[in-house]
Structure 1
Amino acid sequence: METPEEFIFPFPPYAIQEDFMKNLYFCLENGKLGIFESPTGTGKSLSIICGALKWLLDHEERQKSDLIEKIQEIDSSIKESEKKADHDWFFVQSSQLEFAAERRILQQKLNMIIKHNEKREKLKERVQNNKENKKRYYKPKPGKSKDSLKDIDQDSKEGEAKNDTIDEDFLLDDFLEHSDSSEDEDTQEDIYKNSKIYFCSRTHSQLKQFVSELKKTPYSDKIALVPLASRQNYCINKEVKKLKHVNFINERCLQLQKKCTTAKKEKDLKRLKSSTCCPYMPGDQQRLIADILSEVQDVEDIVQNSQELKTCPYYATRNSIPDSQIILVPYNTILHKSTRISSGIDLKGNILIIDEAHNLLEAIEHIHSAMITGRNVLHCYSQLTQYQQRYQHLFSAKNVLYLSQLCFCLKKLLKFFGATVKSSPDDASDPSKQSTKFYTVEDFETASELDTINIFELLDFVKNSKLNRKLQGYLEKYGGETQIQEVELRKTGITAFLKTIKAHNLARYEMEAEQKELLFDKEVSSNPLMTIVSFLECLKSSCEDGRILLVPGKTIGQGVMKFLLLNPAAYFNDIVKEARAVIVAGGTMEPISDFKDRLFIKAGASPERIMSFSCDHVVPKDNIMTRIVTHGPNAKQFIFTYGERASHCLLEELSRSLINICNVVPAGIVVFLQSYTYEEVVYKYLVDQKYLNKISDKKRVFREPKYANQVSQVLEEYAEAVKNPQPPQNGALLFSVVGGKLSEGLNFSDDLGRCVIVVGMPYPNLFAPEIREKMNYLNENVGYNTGTMYYENACMKAVNQCIGRAVRHINDYAGVILLDQRYTTKKTSLPRWIQRSLSVDNSFGMTIRNLAKFYSTKKHAERISSQS
């Protein structure tokens, strides 16, 4: 089908938006793998929505019309064959049988589409009727009143508290190695599966923004949209919600789904109830499903609606998937295969659009990596052995076998941390004498002797026997009785004695720090089996795709073991094969070769299937001034390398530069520094040398907070200082960190970001073992010098994200200052819309003159615009 020339848009689209939608439509229609780059502020979300939904509705209409056309052609062929009946009746009869069989199949498909469309219309009518009869709808149903719900919840609590046979809930379910799901498969054959678009972004706030953009378009009343989220986001049961940690919420929710029988007292036997322990299941699920499919809503809207209806939004959204057209999902749900399957997501023949995909490769690596500590293993081994000893006589022989195998794995992992469980502490090896070391999966399993265990079967046992849930229930009841003792290494001799005396005063403080760390990690460490299972899951990966990193600690408990995924394409292979088309989109997708070579091609895609599209910024060239500044006010060269950046001379130049820039730049300035450590160094220098006072004469100074829950407050205060400065100040300055909480996903539009300054080049730590191993892997498996390119690209990607915080719409303007001489060799790695106004200033005086002229011109233009 040809690409349409016109698209429905909430306002007349820019030329770049039309090009974006046309290329997107072509990509979806032809089943391509697309890499789309559209700078922030160019209406990327609206372009994706209008281009993709135009294709989806066209595709659905075309499917229906094609079936009707084929049925008509068969009818014509049958009529034509009837005319030949006198000549060869046998041939005519056999042909008509073939035509009839083919027509029957086509008619079944057409009927399913018609029924599907009729169902959606009936759902809309039902929702409309319910709105008109809201009072009647909210009349409590018999047996489901508010009081009865309270009774059920109260009964379940009393039953749990008083039931002496509760230990039966802690016994493992029988483990079945093979399950036959053929019956389920057969029942799904006749269900119509409409084409779907899965839209994926990093955070729920970005998905919420997508919903708000969709509501602006004419498609909002034509599309069935379902936002998927975790139980942590959707759960409305306060008793479950208060658990906070997502793993505990999942386990508790599944536990509550079991049928339970409760009774208050003997005199209330007549009120014996048999129901789910959660008062919000099932509830009026069909009513909530109808609401979700009939009106575009985000997660918060659905939660609010479900609270009014007193039914679970988590299961309602999942039950809405079959009849939906657009499904919104966060990264973790779509990129993790087991999560994808458990959520009911089927990519086969459907569309996947991944937004904010600039860090997609790193996101896949992070999702499929895992880390355990020696403390995790010690706690898990102690809990598991006590659990097994308490109930071993009640377990089946097979469950006892697998529990023993799991304990065996834990002991072998402890050995890697420098200890053995059965040996005395004196016999344990000293972990401090071990060195950081990498293993392939194969080498690790051999060295740890885990290759003697079938990891696949063991993990199936943990899942099917519900060991996580059973162990957690046991710990909740008998947690106070469990004794977890960490192996301590005792050293003998005079040297050890002297070290003990010397460290006596420090030991108390170290112990207090460790106790604080334990309290901080209490939620996770109370069931460390989850962490161990996640690590063992990683061992199912291909030997060449990942590495095991062992980082020994001063004690066994402080040792760290990580699985690092080095080949993200291994977990993208199924997505590329199953999906009709895959779109990765972002504001800055350079270098595009990363997505072509390291993601799509390594995942098995042919080069012919890959296409890319990149558009310019809607902001005029004159609204952006980009300068690479090579020298400071005293002509000292700006090279912020790790060894030089903390020198007094360079900090002096940086301080004077910031003072001069603050004198000519109005409103808000955002300064990005290479790390939190360097931000501390710079800020301390400014305070000690009294430079901060000079900056504060013009700008109120803010710093990026260390804790995420403080970000909103700092941003609010920064915005207030920019909009309502206290004379003689004319705005505010915000110190931020590259790759920190303020470098991605935040908008510093208009006066909030009139100038963005990037100090130095934020290269990753070249001596970090993970970086070195990653570079070696790329050089050996992707191509010569690929590791170096990865290292360079990691730096420039971070810089480009910082630059993108400013200039958010067509009338916005800002200056971009790059303080480092090394940027002169990285011009082509910057976004194209930045390169338009890029130049190099070899003297700092030239930079100040250019800045003063730029802002003076913009201020004059604003004055004229306001007068007219």
Structure 2
Amino acid sequence: MQHLYSVLQTGGVGLLESPTGTGKTLSLICSTLQWLEDRNKADAQEALAASTSQESCCGTGCEADSDLPDWMRSRGAFGALHPSGEAPAKGAKQLARSGARPPGLQEERQGISKEEAEFLLDEWESEGEDCGSKRKANGYASIDSSSDEDGTDTEEEETPKRRQVYFCSRTHSQLSQFVSELHRTPFAASFSVATVASRKALCINDSVQRLGNATRINEKCLDLQSGKGRKKVVTEAQGNTKASSKSHSGCPFRKANMTSQRQLKDTVLAMPMDVEDMARLGRRKELCPYYAARAALPEADLVLLPYPALLLKETRESLGVRLEGNVVVVDEAHNLVDAVNNVHSALITAQQLATAHSALESYYQRFRALLAPGNSKHIQTLMCLASTLQKCWNRPSGAAGTRLDTVNDFLFSMELDNMNFFRLIRYIKESKVLVKIAGYADATSARAGDEVTPNATDGQTQSDGGSGMSSLHALVGLASALNNADADGRIIVDTAAKTLKFVLLNAGAHFVQVLASAHAVVLASGTLAPVSSLKQQLFPGLPATQLHQFSCGHVVPKERLLAVALGRGPTGATLDLRHEQRAQSSSMDEIGTLLTNICQAVPQGVVAFFPSFAYADAVYAHWQSSGALAALRSKKHVFREPRSSVEVEAVLRQVSSLYHIAHLAQMEKGPSGALLLCVVGGKMSEGINFADGMGRCVVMVGMPFPNPTDPELCERMRFMDTCAASTPAACTDTSSAAGDGVAPISASSPGREYFEDLCMKAVNQCIGRVIRHRGDWAAILLADVRWTAGGANKPLRKLPGWIQESLVVASGFGDAYSRIRRFVRSM
């Protein structure tokens, strides 16, 4: 806690490792909020001192102004006169919001029905690449519309800026755990908290939630607010009936009564809530919790948000996330590099391209006579982009059916190098053209009887290629990705799967925006090991003076943990579990015999991790035919990790119910406890608690190295080697490394280190499922001959320090078995 407080005081980047059970979350809460409380007090004192100083010299200024007329002194007190163009612009904005049209500007729209008129775009004028663009609303000049991404035009009074702490984690469940820990501290009553979540997590409109797919939920929410479903309000004043200029959202939970919305926002800020709490509150109040959370964000001291809300610049701007001078705390930061790469990558399928092109073409053909020149030009550009990209699969590819290009090579080969993607993306963002085009496409499809079934599942939606909006977003996402620097990413064209993907290689190029804005960035995790690749990828050029690293030991004494590296099985055979050797029947038999012996020696629960689902299935099938499975079932109740996340909880409940009846005295009377067969990278390899009797021993079967022939991985390794060979500033050109084959990589190169680190990061997460609190104990068995290999590159050195303290390399299976047996009896 002292180290974290020091990092927050000085600023910069902090890397904090704190194993599960050491109170990591509580330490983060107490340190950051105590610092925030101290800083707020210091800011208040500085403001008071500045105010006192200003008042002391106010007399001179007042005397100087005493000769001015009263009206000029009054004007000076309230600010300077508005610029000449500002007042009309404000009136234009109010007129645009009201839905009214200026007199004399109602153009004739022959042939356009009332239903189709809602899909017409506002006029758009392009003023050149460097001068920005200007939109005309309904033929009337409108500058800088305040509409947000959702099409909502509510005008709120500006909230004074405040110092904030942004706590970011991977899942909503991890954020919920943070809230529950926060309630254990006195800070819960003294700081306001806002939790940011997706519409899918917070929407309380059952008709929208039934859509299932997150993209369609977003689309429907926008549709309900963009004018579809709105109605005029008729009021009576002094006996005269008139139509009010107000309009109501089509969603019954998005009421026009701003007082109710503000009350819900104040309730959200009054007490820390997780996503489930906010959804329940919204249902009880019959008000939208999603927009209440967004409204609460600027006024919160502590903001809880998932990774994408922090890492995407567009999302930060849309939500109003202001990093300047504030603190960012990222939990489970071992996932951060992958998260940055994923949110800035882009993927589009051939079917999505076809759907997007069809939607664009039908819209353009219907409204081309009514489109302003600016709108017409940009829509034709989008059509040209979709049409051209559909030809990318016709070009020759490598033997594996994939082709890999740099961004510039791809643009030149597709003759898209003269297309201004910056201007195109800016137009799409500011004009909200996708809502109009997708809305018209959906309406046309509905009239033709081809509307997507509202209750379609995620899989159905994806198999259909997605809706018009999702396909358009995929197209725009790829166009936006093509704005990346040539060296920062690669284009992968898969001719077999008919997919086109942009892969980000330089995560630091995007994460540097967070580093440059925030006062301090703290990356925390149970284990960040290995740390070297994390530093190289996220902040390679960061000065050492701005990087602070601290690793906390485990609260469990080293005597309550035994880690054993084993290279030979019970029969004396070498445990060579490399990909080329592990599928042999002899290797599978050796693993089965090993686990049977471990289940004999260890009471209660045993957890075994396999490198992949395919290999776990192959081993299980072999055990069924060889009789090894029957031997295992005589010692333990055997469970397998399901592929479906829905079934995971049910399996865990069954496993949990068994460990209570397992005792050493019952070992000879039948199955005792459970043997759970899990998969590295599966649902049970991270975030699951195998405390106490659920996990008295964890066995790593083999080493989960990624596929070395994967084109994306190979290119990432080449990129890291190229960057390491030059200074960070010179890391701008790796185009010569692009290709279809796998280039030889030095065993000591950064790329090879990254390849090994991917394996070790997965291992560290798996073995960290056990030893969850001070009174816990467990054994760890690393079963593969590669664990026992000597030399400076031995993988054991990349294990967390608290595990290395209890680590032994067994001379054989007999040595390992006797050590585990003695360890269990000593507990």
TM-score normalised by the shorter chain: which range applies? 0.7 to 0.9
* Amino acid in structure 1 at the alignment position of 2:445: G
Query: Does residue 1:766 correspond to 2:708, yes or no?
Result: yes
* Aligned-pair CA distance for 1:442: 1.1
Q: 1:533 aligns to what? A: 476
Query: Does residue 1:809 correspond to 2:773, yes or no?
Result: yes
- Provide the rounded CA distance (Å) in 2 between the counterparts of 1:276 and 1:366: 34
**Matched ranges for 1:41-440 at <5 A:** 41-69=21-49, 165-177=114-126, 178=133, 181=144, 192-258=160-226, 262=231, 274-282=247-255, 283=257, 284-418=260-394, 435-440=401-406
* Aligned-pair CA distance for 1:793: 0.6
* Amino acid in structure 1 at the alignment position of 2:270: S
Residues 22 and 773, structure 2, Cα contact 8 Å, conserved in 1: yes
* Aligned-pair CA distance for 1:818: 0.3
Q: 1:575 aligns to what? A: 514
Find the partner of 2:564 among 627, 640, 647. Answer: 627
Q: 2:552 aligns to what? A: 615
Q: 1:675 aligns to what? A: 612
Give the secondary structure class of the aligned counterpart of 2:562.
strand
Q: 1:507 aligns to what? A: none
* Amino acid in structure 2 at the alignment position of 1:356: E
* Amino acid in structure 1 at the alignment position of 2:327: I
Give a deviation string over 1:235-279, Cα, whole Å, max 9, x none: 1222222222222222322232245654899xxx98978422222
Give the secondary structure class of the aligned counterpart of 2:11.
coil
Query: Does residue 1:562 correspond to 2:501, yes or no?
Result: yes
Q: 1:467 aligns to what? A: 433
Distance 1:434 1:462, change over 3 A: farther
Distance 1:66 1:477, change over 3 A: closer
Find the partner of 2:821 among 844, 849, 852. Answer: 852
Give a deviation string over 1:472-506, Cα, whole Å, max 9, x none: 3223332267799xxxxxxxxxxxxxxxxxxxxxx
- Provide the rounded CA distance (Å) in 1 between the counterparts of 2:206 and 2:602: 50
* Aligned-pair CA distance for 1:225: 0.5
- TM-score normalised by length of structure 2: 0.81
Q: 1:794 aligns to what? A: 758
* Amino acid in structure 1 at the alignment position of 2:409: D
Distance 1:381 1:258, change over 3 A: closer
Give the secondary structure class of the aligned counterpart of 2:685.
coil
- Provide the rounded CA distance (Å) in 1 between the counterparts of 2:194 and 2:629: 50
* Aligned-pair CA distance for 1:70: 5.2
Give a deviation string over 1:412-464, Cα, whole Å, max 9, x none: 1111112xxxxxxxxxx788989422111111111111112211222233333
Distance 1:192 1:302, change over 3 A: same
Query: Does residue 1:842 correspond to 2:815, yes or no?
Result: no
Distance 1:624 1:168, change over 3 A: same
* Amino acid in structure 2 at the alignment position of 1:244: G
- Provide the rounded CA distance (Å) in 2 between the counterparts of 1:78 and 1:394: 61
* Amino acid in structure 2 at the alignment position of 1:379: T
Distance 1:312 1:749, change over 3 A: same
Residues 438 and 547, structure 1, Cα contact 8 Å, conserved in 2: yes
Q: Which moved more, 1:662-671 or 1:314-323?
A: 314-323
Q: 1:505 aligns to what? A: none
Structure 1 unaligned segments of length 5 or more: list them.
1-20, 83-92, 98-162, 419-428, 485-514, 859-868
* Aligned-pair CA distance for 1:701: 0.8
Residues 382 and 483, structure 1, Cα contact 8 Å, conserved in 2: no
Give the secondary structure class of the aligned counterpart of 2:121.
coil
* Amino acid in structure 2 at the alignment position of 1:250: N
Q: 2:681 aligns to what? A: 739
Distance 1:294 1:779, change over 3 A: same
- Provide the rounded CA distance (Å) in 2 between the counterparts of 1:458 and 1:361: 29
Residues 226 and 292, structure 1, Cα contact 8 Å, conserved in 2: yes
Q: Which moved more, 1:219-228 or 1:188-197?
A: 188-197
- Provide the rounded CA distance (Å) in 2 between the counterparts of 1:432 and 1:780: 23
- Provide the rounded CA distance (Å) in 2 between the counterparts of 1:596 and 1:70: 41
Residues 407 and 489, structure 2, Cα contact 8 Å, conserved in 1: yes
- Provide the rounded CA distance (Å) in 2 between the counterparts of 1:516 and 1:371: 17
Give the secondary structure class of the aligned counterpart of 1:591.
coil
Distance 1:57 1:33, change over 3 A: same
Give the secondary structure class of the aligned counterpart of 2:486.
coil
Distance 1:430 1:449, change over 3 A: closer
* Amino acid in structure 2 at the alignment position of 1:235: C
Give a deviation string over 1:374-427, Cα, whole Å, max 9, x none: 222122223332332233333333322222221211121111112xxxxxxxxx
Q: 2:79 aligns to what? A: none
- Provide the rounded CA distance (Å) in 2 between the counterparts of 1:516 and 1:857: 51
Q: Which moved more, 1:63-72 or 1:311-320?
A: 63-72
Q: 1:547 aligns to what? A: 490
- Provide the rounded CA distance (Å) in 2 between the counterparts of 1:850 and 1:542: 55
Give the length in aligned residue pairs: 711
Residues 724 and 750, structure 2, Cα contact 8 Å, conserved in 1: yes
Distance 1:44 1:62, change over 3 A: same
Distance 1:609 1:667, change over 3 A: same
Report % sequence identity: 36
Residues 224 and 230, structure 2, Cα contact 8 Å, conserved in 1: no
* Aligned-pair CA distance for 1:323: 1.7
Q: 1:777 aligns to what? A: 719
Q: Which moved more, 1:451-460 or 1:767-776?
A: 451-460
- Provide the rounded CA distance (Å) in 1 between the counterparts of 2:341 and 2:32: 28
Distance 1:645 1:294, change over 3 A: same
- Provide the rounded CA distance (Å) in 2 between the counterparts of 1:478 and 1:679: 48
- Provide the rounded CA distance (Å) in 1 between the counterparts of 2:763 and 2:221: 42
Distance 1:261 1:623, change over 3 A: closer
- Provide the rounded CA distance (Å) in 2 between the counterparts of 1:405 and 1:829: 51
Residues 225 and 297, structure 1, Cα contact 8 Å, conserved in 2: yes
* Amino acid in structure 2 at the alignment position of 1:635: G
- Provide the rounded CA distance (Å) in 2 between the counterparts of 1:286 and 1:277: 19
Give the secondary structure class of the aligned counterpart of 2:316.
helix
* Aligned-pair CA distance for 1:39: 0.8
Give the secondary structure class of the aligned counterpart of 1:702.
strand
- Provide the rounded CA distance (Å) in 2 between the counterparts of 1:221 and 1:394: 57
Residues 173 and 466, structure 1, Cα contact 8 Å, conserved in 2: no
- Provide the rounded CA distance (Å) in 1 between the counterparts of 2:269 and 2:299: 8
Query: Does residue 1:26 correspond to 2:1, yes or no?
Result: no
* Amino acid in structure 1 at the alignment position of 2:195: P
Residues 359 and 438, structure 2, Cα contact 8 Å, conserved in 1: no
Distance 1:743 1:183, change over 3 A: closer
- Provide the rounded CA distance (Å) in 2 between the counterparts of 1:390 and 1:587: 57
Find the partner of 2:637 among 700, 705, 717. Answer: 700
Higher helix proportion (structure 1 or 2) = 1
- Provide the rounded CA distance (Å) in 1 between the counterparts of 2:462 and 2:197: 26
Structure 2 unaligned segments of length 5 or more: list them.
65-111, 127-132, 135-142, 148-154, 235-239, 451-456, 726-747, 789-793
* Amino acid in structure 1 at the alignment position of 2:655: Y
Give the secondary structure class of the aligned counterpart of 2:248.
strand
- Provide the rounded CA distance (Å) in 2 between the counterparts of 1:724 and 1:642: 38
**Matched ranges for 1:598-677 at <5 A:** 598-602=537-541, 605-677=542-614
Residues 334 and 528, structure 2, Cα contact 8 Å, conserved in 1: yes
Find the partner of 2:417 among 439, 445, 451. Answer: 451
Give the secondary structure class of the aligned counterpart of 1:611.
strand
* Aligned-pair CA distance for 1:622: 1.0
